[in-house]
Amino acid sequence: MSPSRNDLAELELRELEADLAAHGVEPFHARQLYRWVYKRGVTEFDRMSDLSRDLREMLKREFTIGTPRVVSDDRSIDGTRKFLLELADGRRVEAVFIPDTPAMTFCLSTQVGCAMSCGFCLTGRMGLVRNLTAGEIAGQVRVLAGATGLLDLPFNIVLMGMGEPLHNYEHTMKALRVLHSEHGLAVSPRRVTLSTVGIVPGLERLAHEPLMPNLAISLHATRDEQRSELVPPNRKYPLAAILDACRRFPLKKRSRITFEYVLLSGVNDTPEDARRLVRLLAGIKSKVNLIPLNPAPGIPYERPSDERVDRFAQILADGHLTVSVRKSRGRDIRAACGQLIVEGGSKKSAAQQMALLMR
């Protein structure tokens, strides 16, 4: 690939229109290209039959369409599929297709690895290798939608794969704008959920976005001391700051903030934890998604019993919180929450990762 060729997959529609205009091409051709790439999954210019031969030749000279390559497609007994995707530089990420949840859902990665170092998450053990570009994030959707036959059908997106979306803010939001284009996949922000450990400056920026996804906060503890052990960014952005940002977050009618809470046996699953959680979320339009730990080698915690999970959920319900218990999907192929990891790569040191976070 020539380094001078522009990657069409990295461009919003207005950017593509401007690039084509520089080559004397009318703007409507940008809309045609978006339809070919996003609605039909076509990435070879010669197959774009409603474009003139001269235009196709120019596009081949000047543009490329970067697309993650499927290395493996593992299928669970419950229908979940985990895709190992290779990027242009050889780095790899995982993305997951979760059917019937109740909609079809794609779980996307926003970084190669993750700098958050959450104690119960395998991805955090990778460290941060690099951010994904907007095209690499949106490209996961193109690949998964094509592989599952959903290019022309509705689906949901959760930014809950590898990485912290608000730690890669610009590329994540640009990817959502690309996916939202009516000439492409036309993904409504109502069908997108962004999950974050609570990077407060990112939350404050997100509150002013014209294209605002649903928000999920990975809470996992009710005391700062414990949360700082489980979720190290809490040392910079403690519970009070995160919950204050949530109280000020603009929510549309009937919308709520989801609080995700991984239950660790004998650690954060006591009745006292549940009652504290009720008090912490008072006054916030919220729902709680309880996630019994998905165990994995290298994770020093255990999954609580069903009885402890049910007791925790009942205390929340008695406290007038809306609560659900997430059913693990794809555990047999290591595709469940907290189990995504790829080997290799040159990660940043813990000190480098935290320095990036504190900026």
**Percentage of the chain exceeding pLDDT 90:** 83
pLDDT digits (tens, 9 = 90+) for 72-100: 999 999 899 999 999 999 999 999 999 98
pLDDT digits (tens, 9 = 90+) for 284-321: 999 999 999 988 888 899 999 999 999 999 999 999 99
Give the separation between CA 290 and CA 319, rounded to whole angstroms. Answer: 15
| Neighbouring C-beta atoms of residue 151, cutoff 10 Å | 17
Among all residues, which ones are annotated catalytic?
94, 337
Asked if 184 and 16 touch (Cβ cutoff 8 Å), the reply is: no
Cβ-count burial 103-116 (b if 16+ within 10 Å, e if not): ebbbbbbbbbbbbb
Asked if 203 and 166 touch (Cβ cutoff 8 Å), the reply is: yes
**Helices and strands in the chain, H and E counts:** 11, 14
Residue 228 has pLDDT above 50, yes or no: yes
Q: Domains in the chain and their CATH numbers?
A: 6-64 (1.10.150.530), 69-358 (3.20.20.70)
Give the separation between CA 227 and CA 51, rounded to whole angstroms. Answer: 55
The one-character DSSP state at 245 is H
pLDDT digits (tens, 9 = 90+) for 114-139: 999 998 888 888 899 999 999 999 99
Phi-psi region of 163 (alpha: psi -120 to 50; beta: other; left: phi over 0): left
Give the separation between CA 30 and CA 336, rounded to whole angstroms. Answer: 38
Give the separation between CA 63 and CA 60, rounded to whole angstroms. Answer: 6
Give the separation between CA 344 and CA 28, rounded to whole angstroms. Answer: 43
Asked if 295 and 331 touch (Cβ cutoff 8 Å), the reply is: no
Q: Which of 146, 228, 242 is nearest to 185 (CA)?
A: 146
pLDDT digits (tens, 9 = 90+) for 19-39: 999 999 999 999 999 999 999
The whole-number pLDDT of residue 349 equals: 40
The whole-number pLDDT of residue 69 equals: 97
Question: Among the listed ranges 194-208, 223-237, 288-302, which one has the minimum average pLDDT value?
Answer: 288-302
User: pTM, whole model, 2 decimals?
Assistant: 0.90
The whole-number pLDDT of residue 331 equals: 60
Asked if 59 and 46 touch (Cβ cutoff 8 Å), the reply is: no
Altogether, the residues listed in the chain come to a count of 359
